[in-house]
Amino acid sequence: MRISVLASSSRGNASVICNGDTFVMVDAGISARRICKGLDECGLGMEQVSGIFITHEHTDHIGGLGTLDRKHELTLYCSRYLRSELRVVAPRATLNYVEPGGRVQVGEVTVTPLGVSHDAVDPLGYVFEGDGVKLGYVTDTGRCTRTMLAALEGVHALYLESNYDEEMLHDSGRPYSLIERIEGVAGHLSNKQAGEVVRALAHSGLRHVILAHISPECNTPSCAEHSMQSVLEEVAPMVQLHVAGQFDRLPWIEI
Ligand SMILES: [Zn+2]
Ligand SMILES: [Zn+2]
């Protein structure tokens, strides 16, 4: 199984995951033009993507969906209560709903959604499985609960939000209400919280950690990387750490 992150930050997110001949995407929060360009760099066209798994409806996760829907035949997977919202954004698409814990098979990829804690309509994370390897995909969550950790147990690769540095967030000059929202249970994971998640999930089979959804205002890629590296040195020194970026595609990572 492989993953390439087309883009990730608070400004836009999209990834492509492959197992065998099956390609699926997670989110479409950058422009349709950038999605198609990113897929092209992966050697793919939109018609080869069997489905797009949507985490939630914030613009940085579905911003490109409307244009994609006008130009391509899409199959979308989302939580039950998000369907009506997505129907408005992508009226032509085939919409399937998925539930936490309910497995879905798309070609050679098995997908198990998990509930996350975020101020959106029924937001989801996902575990992708194929060929005996598991990839956990968790973004936009204020907390990583025990239920979430249980669902992510044993993953060989983890795509994980590392949204903000606490000090930078407090020095950002943002309104206190927004700071409270970001730090709240339905907000985002800080670098420190992301470290705690990896600490809890570390095991000898964990090979890759991909840091994602880094805030351009309240974090830097190197700050997030250093924070996670210090945890990895302690608990899982063999893990390869990757940092997804706002502009450049993260090339295929073989899990
Ligand atoms: Zn987001
Ligand atoms: Zn969000």
**pLDDT value at position 175?**
95
Q: pTM, whole model, 2 decimals?
A: 0.98
Residues 6+ apart with CB under 8 A from 232: 198, 209, 239, 241
Domain ranges of the chain: 2-254
- Indicate the pLDDT class of residue 229, thresholds 50, 70 and 90: very high
Nearest Cα to 189, choosing from 134, 143, 225? 143
Average predicted confidence (pLDDT) for the chain? 98
Report pLDDT digits (tens) over 161-179.
Answer: 999 999 999 999 999 999 9
From the candidate CATH numbers 3.30.1950.10, 3.60.15.10, 3.40.50.10490, 1.10.1200.120, the one assigned to the domain spanning 2-254: 3.60.15.10
Report pLDDT digits (tens) over 21-55.
Answer: 999 999 999 999 999 999 999 999 999 999 999 99
Three-state secondary-structure class, residue 90: coil
Gap from CA of 199 to ligand 1 centroid (Å): 23
**pLDDT value at position 146?**
97
β-sheet bridge partners, residue 209: 158, 241
Residues 184, 169: Cα–Cα separation, whole Å: 13
> What are the start-end ranges of the H helices in 63-106?
65-71, 83-89
Gap from CA of 41 to ligand 2 centroid (Å): 26
**pLDDT value at position 251?**
96
> What are the start-end ranges of the H helices in 48-175?
59-62, 65-71, 83-89, 146-152, 166-170
Gap from CA of 216 to ligand 1 centroid (Å): 12
Gap from CA of 188 to ligand 1 centroid (Å): 8
Gap from CA of 153 to ligand 2 centroid (Å): 24
Task: Decide: 76 and 51 in contact? Cβ < 8 Å.
Answer: yes
Q: Which ligand is nearest to the CA of 14?
A: 1
Report pLDDT digits (tens) over 186-198.
Answer: 999 999 999 999 9
Task: Decide: 55 and 123 in contact? Cβ < 8 Å.
Answer: yes
Q: Which ligand is nearest to the CA of 161?
A: 1
The percent of residues above 70 in pLDDT, for the chain, comes to 100
Report pLDDT digits (tens) over 58-117.
Answer: 999 999 999 999 999 999 999 999 999 999 999 999 999 999 999 999 999 999 999 999
